[in-house]
Amino acid sequence: LWPRPRYLNLYGPTETNVCTWYEIPPEIPPDRTDAYPIGRVCGHYRERVVDTEGHDVPSGSEGELCIAGSGVMQGYWNLPEQNERVFLVDPDGTRWYRTGDVVARESDGNYRFLGRRDRMIKKRGYRVELDEIEAALYRHPDVKEAAVVATAHDDGPHVRAFLSTKDGERLSIIALKQFCVKELPLYMVPDTFSFLDVLPKTSTDKINYQALKELP
C-alpha cells in the first residue's frame, strides 16, 4: 500500500529518548545473521564512549555509551544517589548520561551494540554476554522461556539458566548441554539448568532477574 518505504531503527533508553538511528537496507541477504548497528548519534546529541572508570576509550574500542544533549532527562526524581551513579559531569557542567550499553564505533562512524554492561561477566578470562546465552537457548525447539543469570562463588561466577518448556516437561540436562555446545563456545555453556513452570516477571512483564538470583 505504501511503495518504497524506508525502515530506520531508532535506539535509545527512556532517559535519552531516541539517541541513535540507523537506516536498514531495503533488501537483507537471507543468510545474514549478524545484527545491524544501532547507527550514528542524532544531531541534537553528543556522545562519548568510556571505560569503567569514566575515561574516554580510543575509537573502535568497546566501552559504555554516554549521551549529552537537550533530550536527556534532568534526573531521577528524589534519587540523588542514583543520579550521581548514572551521570558523568565535566568541569564545565556538561552532564553525560551513562546508558549502560556497551558499544564500539566502527570505521564508518556507526556504533555496534555489544550488550548491557550489567549483563556482561568475565569467566575464566573470557567475556561472557548473558543475553547471548539466552538467545542460544531460545533456538532450542522445546524452550518456551529462557533467562540466564550469574551468581558469585569462591571459584568465580557461575552461570545459571532457568527454562520453561512448551509442553511443561523437563528436558535432559545432557541433551541441553550438547545443544549448547553446538550453539556457543564451551566457556559460555551454563553451569546449571533449572526448570520452572513460568519464569518470574516484574510489574512491566519483564524477566525478574533479581528474583531468579535469589532462588536456591
pLDDT tens column, 23-78: 999 889 998 878 899 999 999 999 999 998 899 999 999 999 999 999 999 999 99
Q: How far is CA 174 from the centre of its chain?
A: 28
Confidence at residue 216, expressed as pLDDT on a 0 to 100 scale: 85
What tens digit of pLDDT does each residue of 132-183 get? 999 999 999 999 999 999 998 888 899 999 999 999 999 999 999 999 999 9
pLDDT at 209 over 90: yes
What tens digit of pLDDT does each residue of 104-134 get? 999 999 999 988 888 888 888 888 989 999 9
Q: pTM, whole model, 2 decimals?
A: 0.72
